[in-house]
A and B are shown apart, each in its own frame.
Chain A
Amino acid sequence: DAGVIQSPRHEVTEMGQEVTLRCKPISGHNSLFWYRQTMMRGLELLIYFNNNVPIDDSGMPEDRFSAKMPNASFSTLKIQPSEPRDSAVYFCASSLGQGARSGELFFGEGSRLTVL
């Protein structure tokens, strides 16, 4: 069975450019999470969807960040305009049930973003 699929795996862009990260959750999972990992701040939850509806976006850093989940099999995280401090690994995760308390989160392999 396919796991959580993220693309691109690596992205290098210049400051000011728009970045779109994509995620396909595991089929049948109804919760989706976007996390960001940096050396300084560790793993931070950015946003969480349940049944395609954003439930908690309090972790989204600022208005430059936006996330959508148009259907159960696809989500995007967009940064516009990007800044060097956005450089990080962005993980998408999905789970069955209502969020983390229902059980394990299945993580994708991450998208490593470098903003020059």
Chain B
Amino acid sequence: AQKVTQAQTEISVVEKEDVTLDCVYETRDTTYYLFWYKQPPSGELVFLIRRNSFDEQNEISGRYSWNFQKSTSSFNFTITASQVVDSAVYFCALSEADGNNRLAFGKGNQVVVIP
């Protein structure tokens, strides 16, 4: 069984502050894929990043960065110098290689950036 836990339901930050979203996953597979998606108020789901289990290299894309640590089964997401446009729900998701390609989502983190 696969499981994704995003413990923080709602996070409020003042503009320009950094915010880190925690994602902890559970899987018995050695090959798996981790994703982050953004859901802005308009409702669509926007792909942010995909990582496979063999690639623990951290990644930075503009103000976004991701920290993948297999030792703690975590794939955390940091927004640096937050902006109002970052206000959204952010979902972490897991797909196991042998799991019929199910993309299992966490409950999401509601991020509110206060101007």
Chain A residues in contact with chain B, CB under 8 A?
31, 33, 42-43, 45, 48, 50, 55-56, 58-59, 89, 91, 93, 98-101, 103-110, 112
Contacts and interface: CB of A to CB of B under 8 A. Distances in A.
A105 B46 CA distance: 9
Nearest to A31: B101
Given A100-B101, A101-B95, 18 more contacts: A42-B107, A42-B108, A45-B102, A55-B100, A93-B45, A99-B95, A100-B95, A101-B96, A101-B101, A103-B50, A104-B47, A105-B45, A105-B103, A106-B47, A107-B37, A108-B44, A110-B44, A112-B43
A86 B62 CA distance: 39
Interface in B59-115: 91, 93, 95-97, 100-108
Interface size class of B (residues with CB under 8 A): 20 to 34
A34 B4 CA distance: 19
Main SS at interface, chain A:
strand
27 contacts: A31-B101, A42-B106, A43-B91, A43-B108, A45-B102, A45-B103, A48-B100, A50-B101, A55-B100, A56-B100, A56-B102, A58-B100, A59-B102, A89-B43, A99-B95, A99-B100, A99-B101, A100-B95, A101-B95, A101-B96, A104-B47, A105-B47, A106-B47, A108-B44, A109-B44, A110-B43, A112-B43
